Structure 1
Amino acid sequence: MRFPMPWRITAPLSVLIVALAGCSGSDTEPEVTAGSGATAVTNCGVAVPAGAPPTKIFAAFHNGIEAVYALGAGDKLVGAAYLDNPLLPEYAAQFHPDQQEPTYYPEEYPSREEVLRLDPDFVVSGFTGAFTTEGLGTRAELNKIGIGSYLFTQYCPTADGEGQKSLADNDVSLDSVYGDLTDLGRVLGTTTQAEALVTKMKQTVAGVESELAGVKRPTVAMLNRPGGGELRVFGSEDVATTIIEKAGGIQVFDDVPGRLARIGTEELIKRKPDVIVIPACCGADVGPDGAQGVIDGLKSDPALANVPAIRDNRIYAVTFAEITPGVRNADAVANLAKLLHPEKF
């Protein structure tokens, strides 16, 4: 979606809130008024100008936050919400929420009014949920008050303003991730950093694939059990499947669409995965050890005792951040490959 140039407007907060409340969520393609010589990227069917970079950024969700830092625009971050795990060390050194640099919202998504108080001219979101009428507003609504936006394309909705249950038929390959980082780098005015980042990620994955040539691939189930309740699986139509396959595994739930789909214990028994991977979540201080409760629960369930992954003690913890579309995905491939094929590394 896009907004006319310049990126920022200087109306008082009360005017912005009234303007946003009056916007129609039916607008899906705002008019783009680009500066002389400016180009645009297309993001979820929305034209995003890539001329004058934004100056004050709000980032939602872990992958959105880390992308801003990785692309060299961390000094423009005025607000951030929802870290799934600790930031990577190189970004954590720049993250000072205790000093309100940026303002961080750890547990609840900030209200529209709260985000507008920060006066951003651009919002980067890793998931669809931010851009709804119930959230920050649709991208068309935000555009009308001068706030630009970018959404990771694996979560493009079928229409602007739709939520997580209305995803389009999206590309969940690493090429999609590379494309997002490249396009976002153009929008943020950091093309050099984006090109270097994508090149490094491609080299990492290529190196892993070279080491794994000809290996016997184990079947892999990536799942979680929020609150100790129902099992939920990371299935097809999700970058987790791509990571499993690039790391030398076979997605055992390749016929289950989407992320965190509910499955029964009997279904896990039926699939007989060789390996189970548990992504730990959620919080700025939750590392891989945050998955230990789920792992212990699976191991202690007598009904699962003969599942190969449990029988052979091949249950591994990773982080939710690394299996979400973003800057960690190449390293996620390398890390999982070492777990699946330790003899190769």
Structure 2
Amino acid sequence: MVHALGLSDRLVGTAFLDAQVVEPYAAAQQGKPYTADLPQREALLAANPDFVLAGYNNVFTTTGDESISTRADLAALGVQSWINAPLCPSADGLSDEAIDPAQVSMETVYADLRSLGRVLGAQQRSEELVAELQAKVATVQERVAGKERPQVAILLNDDDGSYRVASGIDFGTRVLEMAGAENAFGDLTERRHVAVSKEELIARDPDVILTSTCCDASYTVADGEPDVQQIRADPALAGSTAVREGRVYPFLFADRAAGIRAPYAAERVADLVHPE
């Protein structure tokens, strides 16, 4: 978001990215200080930041390997902070279980960009950025309007050979909808990731399967190919429509997050599910 707002020169450090910065802003990330792990509180303060921007709220706690301190603690030291609205809790230190992801839409993302633009003195650029993203979404939606909406499963490959799916309340569902598709597991709404049996996958028989490859700052879509091959090689899924017809595609976890990547992700998904 900082790169997209044209404020790359203000970045004193970045950390814990799930994938490469999306292409229009990838060059701006080059040369910026980066650490694969979240910095501890002392290391963070050593960079002397005025402002800390986080994509999720678990970093603002006093315990755990993925935490730097509470927002109140940082504020007492003169360091302001921001959590993107889709994962901003009602109280300091709460996990994202306190958030209702079903209420998150692209309008949430646009409001975030406008608010952050005001805070960082980039209001005009934030309005331009919102307009650019809205136009991209509109172009995708116009292209797929009236077409049959295929059933798509976003699959997380677990180390033990089992699978989880992105549920109906996951923002990946919004990406699929923008792209003219439906989440084959959209009726599951208890949590964002739901463990499902292979029998359930076969029974639902999605037209298309997308991976949910994560997490490294070097990752591009191509890094999802091992996950694709694992799914294709699973004998239990050999008879499924997506596997049989060669419609299992690499997809990034980062591309199903509520943020500026989503319109680009919707554009790519539309290319996959509506190739004609």
Partner of 1:86: 20
What are the Cα deviations for residues 189-228 of structure 1, in whole angstroms up to 9, with x where unaligned?
1111111111011111111111222111100111221446
1:10-29 equivalent positions in 2, closer than 5 A = none
Q: Distance in 2 between matches of 1:328 and 1:169?
A: 17
User: For the Cα contact (< 8 Å) 2:61–2:70, is it kept in 1?
Assistant: yes
1:1-345 equivalent positions in 2, closer than 5 A = 67-97=1-31, 102-106=32-36, 108-134=37-63, 135-168=67-100, 171-227=103-159, 229-257=161-189, 258-343=191-276
User: For the Cα contact (< 8 Å) 2:105–2:258, is it kept in 1?
Assistant: no
What are the Cα deviations for residues 4-25 of structure 1, in whole angstroms up to 9, with x where unaligned?
xxxxxxxxxxxxxxxxxxxxxx
User: For the Cα contact (< 8 Å) 1:223–1:234, is it kept in 2?
Assistant: yes
Unaligned runs of 5+ in 1: 1-66
Q: Distance in 2 between matches of 1:139 and 1:261?
A: 31
Equivalent residue of 1:216, what SS? coil
Q: Whose radius of gyration is greater, 1 or 2?
A: 1
Q: Distance in 2 between matches of 1:95 and 1:247?
A: 28
Partner of 1:50: none
Equivalent residue of 2:34, what SS? strand
User: For the Cα contact (< 8 Å) 1:219–1:252, is it kept in 2?
Assistant: yes
Letter in 2 for 1:268: L
- Percent identity of the aligned residues? 39
User: For the Cα contact (< 8 Å) 1:279–1:288, is it kept in 2?
Assistant: no
Q: CA deviation at 1:173?
A: 0.9
Matched pairs, number: 272
Q: CA deviation at 1:123?
A: 0.9
Q: CA deviation at 1:305?
A: 1.5
Unaligned runs of 5+ in 2: none
Q: Distance in 1 between matches of 2:194 and 2:3?
A: 31
Q: Distance in 2 between matches of 1:290 and 1:327?
A: 21
User: For the Cα contact (< 8 Å) 1:225–1:232, is it kept in 2?
Assistant: yes
TM-score by length of 2: 0.92
Partner of 1:55: none
User: For the Cα contact (< 8 Å) 2:51–2:80, is it kept in 1?
Assistant: yes
TM-score by length of 1: 0.74
Letter in 2 for 1:336: V
Q: Distance in 1 between matches of 2:207 and 2:101?
A: 30
User: For the Cα contact (< 8 Å) 1:205–1:330, is it kept in 2?
Assistant: yes
User: For the Cα contact (< 8 Å) 2:152–2:208, is it kept in 1?
Assistant: yes
Q: CA deviation at 1:88?
A: 3.3
Higher mean C-alpha displacement, 72-81 vs 323-332: 323-332
Q: Aligned pair in 2 of structure 1 residues 170, 232: CA closer, same or farther (>3 Å)? A: same
